[in-house]
Amino acid sequence: MGARIGSRAGFGGILSTWRGRMIVFFGSILLIIILLVVGITSCVRSCTANKNKTVQATQQKKETAPKLSNGLQKRLDAQLETNKQLAAIAKNASHYANEKIIELALNEPAATSFVAAIPTADKKSQAYSDAITKGGVPALYTYDKRWGFVDYAGMPLGVTGSGPTCLSMAFMALTGSAEQTPATIAKFATDNGFATGDTYTDPKLFTSEKLADVKLSGQAKETSADNITSALKKGGFVIGLTKKDSLSAQPHYLIIAAVNADGTLTVYDPLSSSVSSRPWAMSTITNSLEGSIYVIKAAQQQAKS
């Protein structure tokens, strides 16, 4: 009997010890779970707070970002439009008869829309309707859509027509009339055999007696500051041929319109708006011209002088 009681007492002690250990074990598990829950909750709160801070910072940046000025926005819009047109030119490259046509768009950004329109353009010209002041040379460009699509010397006048465009500018300044546009002068040059040569217009056109048919006359002079100044002071205008890689990459004709008070020259380049937009030192222009200059006057004026 005593042995049984001892046995039961021993078993109870073991059971009690086992229960104690289980309580400690499960208590530890519970503590770990609690710590994990607390850690996760803290992390979520921290991440949420950081996210909110990031959102707030982004919103603040958006709210404080300066707006573009109208001038800068217009420049960006213009550049985007130019890029769009260049992409169209590249896509339709096989539709251009000569690489020089595409080069015009790359060399003269103002001509990009003109070049982009060439594959589907109607090869017709329009009248010049802008105001003209007698004695004042209008700044005309070969790639003006009013005449640039007309064929001249095997390509669009917008690429090849610097000679006719310069003569047209001289005509308008000397007569105060828009009767002779680059397109009509180009036809005149073609009909009389002058639409030829590396510069697409034979320089003999500028001294030909045939100029009288378009109420003009021309005389070749040695390129010099004195001859340019003298011609302009006597009411004439001067056409010259640029050297390769001087004012621009390829030789072509430009017109000298005036001598300014400070001795600089007003020059209109029918293939370059950048050249036309600023005054030039006399020495820069004389050093940039090839061969003779051509003094253009009204026909009756030449007869008197």
pLDDT tens per residue across all 305 residues of the chain: 444 444 544 545 554 554 556 565 555 666 566 656 555 556 556 655 555 555 565 565 555 557 888 888 888 888 888 889 999 999 999 999 999 999 999 999 999 999 999 999 999 999 999 999 999 999 999 999 999 999 999 999 999 999 999 999 999 999 999 999 999 999 999 999 999 999 999 999 999 999 999 999 999 999 999 999 999 999 999 999 999 999 988 999 999 999 999 999 999 999 999 999 999 999 999 999 999 999 999 997 554 55
- Maximum CA extent, the chain: 160
Write down the pLDDT at residue 65: 57
| CA neighbor of 298 nearest in space, from 215, 220, 235, 233 | 215
Q: Which CATH class is domain 151-298?
A: alpha beta
Write down the pLDDT at residue 218: 98
Written as six digits, the tokens of 206 are: 């500028």
Counting every residue written for the chain, the total comes to: 305
Give CA–CA dist 251/271, Å, rounded.
10
Written as six digits, the tokens of 288 are: 């940039």
Give CA–CA dist 273/89, Å, rounded.
21
Write down the pLDDT at residue 63: 53
Give CA–CA dist 145/127, Å, rounded.
11
DSSP 3-state of 290:
strand
Write down the pLDDT at residue 177: 98
One-character DSSP codes across 97-164: S-HHHHHHHHH-GGGHHHHHHGGG---------S---TT------TT-TTTTTSEETTEEHHHH-HHH
Specify whether the CB–CB gap between 283 and 226 falls below 8 A.
no
C-beta contacts of 79-83 below 8 A and 24+ residues apart: 81/113, 82/109, 82/112
| CA neighbor of 302 nearest in space, from 214, 182, 194, 201 | 214
Written as six digits, the tokens of 59 are: 């919103």
The residue whose two tokens read 């001294």 is 207
The residue whose two tokens read 């990031």 is 54
One-character DSSP codes across 211-241: GGGGTEEEEEE---HHHHHHHHHTT-EEEEE
Hey, where are the domains in the chain? 70-120, 151-298
Specify whether the CB–CB gap between 144 and 186 falls below 8 A.
no
Provide the b/e sequence for 198-209 (b: ≥16 CB within 10 Å).
ebbbbbebbbbe
